[in-house]
Structure 1
Amino acid sequence: MLIIGCDIGSEMHYARAIDTRGRELSRKAFAFSNTAEGFASVKAWMLELAAANDKKQIVLGLEPTGHYWFCLTAWLVANGISVVQVNPYAVKQTKELEDNSQLKDDRKDPKLIANLVKDGNYGMPYLPEKVYADMRRLSMFRDQLTEDRIRCLNRLHRELTICFPEYKDALGKVDGAFAMELLKAAPFPEDLKEIGTEGIREIWKGAKLRGRGYSRAGEILRYAEQSVGLKDGAGISKEAVKWFAEKILELDRKLSDVEAELSDRCRAVPAAENLLEIPGIGRNILSGILSEIGDISRFDDAKEIQKLSGLGLVACSSGKHKGETKISHRGRKRLRYWLFQAAKSAVVHAEEFRRLHEYYTTRRDNPLKKMQSLIVIACKLLRIIFTILRDGTKYDAARMLNDIRRIEKQAVPAVA
């Protein structure tokens, strides 16, 4: 077997070759670009080394760096080259074993990666396909849009704090429909005093808003008349506020479209509709979980997904010292986030999970803190999701409670 270690970069990749005994077969690191020509050149280089050293199989190991390894992996697999990946943390921890030096560069790392593959410290890469690829991209796009919205809202708060410090009391929910329409037209005290109460209502009528917001027009004007906000530079700040308000509304519309499309993709996943029967698991949470898990058939057990999400339990103990057990936090943070959101929502909306949460936090032996209990419930939800997706079964609250392992005779109250 010819083992290739590859260090991934944004534009250039570096590869070195060893055999199964750890002997280096390449004279130096082979550099190739992140293009079709570069991929073809490294394939020719690998085949030449394999022929010269009578190797029948080629395995390329790489350290997954951001998103730069996606195209290379897909191209190599399509061209018959086996690809595995090593944990970046393992590369970091073993870098001094090579030459007792803290040096880390693009020519040293490939050999470290190749040696890790030789020793069996690798995993199989996974690139989502078909509907799972669409869901992964849509989910990441939704997260990016949400981050942009939060960023714009924070900057909007900054401008309002300077020129209209009383805006929270005056407008209430700043990103609400009534407040947004007002911010686009007359965001600051001088503007509000100029148009008066009727002008404020006309802005809302022009936007065809309905509700009880019209009754706040007089109160908003009173706050504007008593404002202590700065007037110098208010003209430029006004333009900024208008732009941020329009951007937030635009992002809201796009988010709505993306979430609708993501929900449609979820329906194509077998047994996904059965998961919506779990109280508290809505389409947004479900789409986030499924997009991060991908094809469920690649997992043999729910514990594999638990480890992937960073919810696996770890403890540091030595001799008489017993360290605190906590989750590893190593894995897909978005999957961990959505599972935690699912746990919180289930505790609020599902009677069985609320009672389970109460049991974990009040049991006589080893009661858990609220956060610990939510983590346990998130792992329980993960096992339920895995079983439903794998077997296509229906959610059964009574069965879920009966499966709980109790460390004492204190029982979980039955669900009526």
Structure 2
Amino acid sequence: MQFNEFPDIVFEATGIYSRRLKSFLDWHNYPYTFLNPLAAKKQLDQLRPNKNDLNDAKNLAETQFILARAKSYVQNPIYIELQYMSRFYQQINHDIVSTKDRLHRILQLTFPKIEGLFSATDSPHYWELLTIVPHAIITRRSRQALMDTIQAGISWHIGHERLSKLVDQLMSMGQISAPAVAANSYNVAQVIYYAKRWIELHGTKGDILTAMVDKAKDLPEYSIYQSIPG
């Protein structure tokens, strides 16, 4: 098909499906009009009694001669990438909350008192301890055995005095906990799974945030956002 001048390109936003076309046009620097679905509906309501993809495309093309829609603004790709990263960050946050909720329910069966070990349960140390002491019965072994188990299983450095205090707390909590399942219950495997899952998600969340900062730090808006208290 031959054109005397470059044709108008107009299409409706249809979520992730239209993004492929939009990206193709952006990469090749083709101007286009990217319509919000609601705007497109209002413009074509009088023209499409039989709504389908083929009729919509045909009517958009025909009305372009009448409406002469303005070309859409092409956003800097870095902002689009930051939007994708932000959505993934929010998804990871959601997964972290879901993981904590699921683990809370399982811990009521295996070791309910352990949730009071730290003032907050957002420390990777707490979650790593759950993979080592997922059931209250583990705290009822000898004090030295429990100290050795924890010392061998954790990935962070802990002094003897701090470890000793931690073991005393765990043993005290184990004594007043009343598990609803045996130490060989599959619920114990679930505790370990969710604890490891939280650690993984927490690490991914940090990686995304670091990558976002690295990508955004040279943008003009970055210093403005950084100047906002809190």
Structure with more of its chain in helix, by fraction: 2
Change in Cα spacing, 1:232 to 1:96, as seen in structure 2 (3 Å) is: farther
Cα distance in 2 for partners of 1:191, 1:257 equals 34
Change (3 A) 1:217 1:261: same
Deviation, structure 1 residue 183 = 0.6
Find the residue that maps to 1:168 and give its secondary structure.
Answer: helix
Whole-angstrom CA distance in 1 between matches of 2:32 and 2:101: 43
Q: Is 1:192 aligned to residue 139 of structure 2?
A: yes
SS in 1 for 2:54: coil
1:224 matched to 2:174? The reply is yes
1:355-374 → structure 2 map (5 Å cutoff): none
Q: SS of 1:182's equivalent?
A: helix
8 A Cα contact 1:86 1:113, kept in partner: no
Residues 207-262 of structure 1 show CA distances to partners (whole Å, capped at 9, x for unaligned) of 32469686354343333233333216963221222122122222322332332232
Q: 2:94 aligns with which of 142, 147, 162?
A: 147
Once the 2 structures are TM-superposed, how far is the Cα of residue 164 of structure 1 from its aligned partner? 3.1
Letter in 1 for 2:104: H
Match of 2:198 in 1: 248
Partner of residue 72 from structure 1, selected from 10, 14, 21: 21
Q: Classify 1:187/1:99 alpha carbon distance in 2 versus 1 (closer, same or farther; 3 Å).
A: same
Q: How does 1:147-166 map to 2 (within 5 A)?
A: 147-166=94-113
- Asked if the contact 2:34–2:72 (Cα under 8 Å) also holds between the matched residues in 1, the reply is yes
Higher fraction of strand? 1
Contact 2:110 2:179 (C-alpha < 8 Å) held by counterparts: yes
TM (normalized to structure 1)? 0.45
How far off is 1:110 after superposition? 2.0
Q: Distance in 2 between matches of 1:187 and 1:166?
A: 11
Encode CA deviations 1:269-315: one digit per residue, 9 max, x unaligned. Answer: 247335533432xxxxxxxxxxxxxxxxxxxxxxxxxxxxxxxxxxx
**TM-score under structure 2 length normalisation:** 0.74
2:69 and 2:162 map into 1 onto residues whose CA distance is 63
Distance 1:153 1:93, change over 3 A: farther
Once residues 90 and 107 of structure 1 are traced to their aligned partners in structure 2, the CA distance between those partners, rounded to angstroms, is 18
Cross-structure match for 2:47: 98
Q: 2:10 is paired with a residue of what secondary structure?
A: strand
| Highest RCO, 1 vs 2 (Cα 8 Å, sep ≥ 6) | 2
Q: Deviations over 1:113-137 (max 9, x none)?
A: 44664435666153433x4455444
Q: How far apart, in 2, do the equivalents of 1:177 and 1:171 lie?
A: 11
Which amino acid letter does the alignment assign opposite residue 105 of structure 1? N
1:179-228: CA deviations, max 9, x gaps? 21221111121223236586158515743246968635434333323333
Q: Secondary structure at the match of 1:231?
A: coil
Partner of 1:411: none
Does the C-alpha gap of structure 1 residues 197 and 166 become closer, same or farther in structure 2, counting only changes over 3 Å?
Answer: farther
Q: Please, which of 245, 250, 269 is the counterpart of residue 219 of structure 2? A: 269
Deviation at 1:84, TM superposition (A): 0.9
| Counterparts of 1:116 and 1:166, CA distance in 2 | 67
> 8 Å contact 1:178–1:209 — kept in the other structure?
no
Q: Give the distance between the partners of 1:99 and 1:241, measured in 2 at CA.
A: 56
Alpha-carbon distance in structure 1 between the residues aligned to 2:219 and 2:115: 43
Secondary structure class of the residue paired with 2:189? helix
C-alpha distance in 2 between matches for 1:116 and 1:216: 73
Partner of 2:9, secondary structure, is: strand
CA RMSD, Structure 1 to Structure 2 (Å)? 3.6
- The code of the aligned residue for 1:142 comes to Y
- Counterpart contact for 2:129–2:150, Cα < 8 Å: yes
Q: Distance in 2 between matches of 1:125 and 1:195?
A: 69
2:125 matched to 1:175?
A: no
Pair 1:97–1:67, CA change in 2 (3 A)? same
Contact 1:87 1:122 in 2 (8 A): no
In structure 2, stretches of 5+ residues that fail to align are none
1: distance between equivalents of 2:147 and 2:119? 15
Q: 1:88 aligns with which of 19, 37, 59?
A: 37
Given that residues 132 and 149 in structure 2 are in contact (C-alpha distance below 8 angstroms), is that contact kept between their aligned partners in structure 1? no
Q: Tell me the distance in 1 between the aligned counterparts of 2:71 and 2:101.
A: 41
Offset at residue 138 of structure 1 (A): 3.6
Name structure 1 gaps, 5 residues minimum. Answer: 1-47, 281-416
| Conservation of the 8 A alpha-carbon contact between 1:86 and 1:121 | no
Cα gap change, 1:169 to 1:58, in 2 (>3 Å): same
Structure 1 residues 93, 218: CA separation in 2 closer, same or farther (over 3 Å shift)? farther
C-alpha contact (below 8 Å) 2:109/2:181 kept by paired residues: no
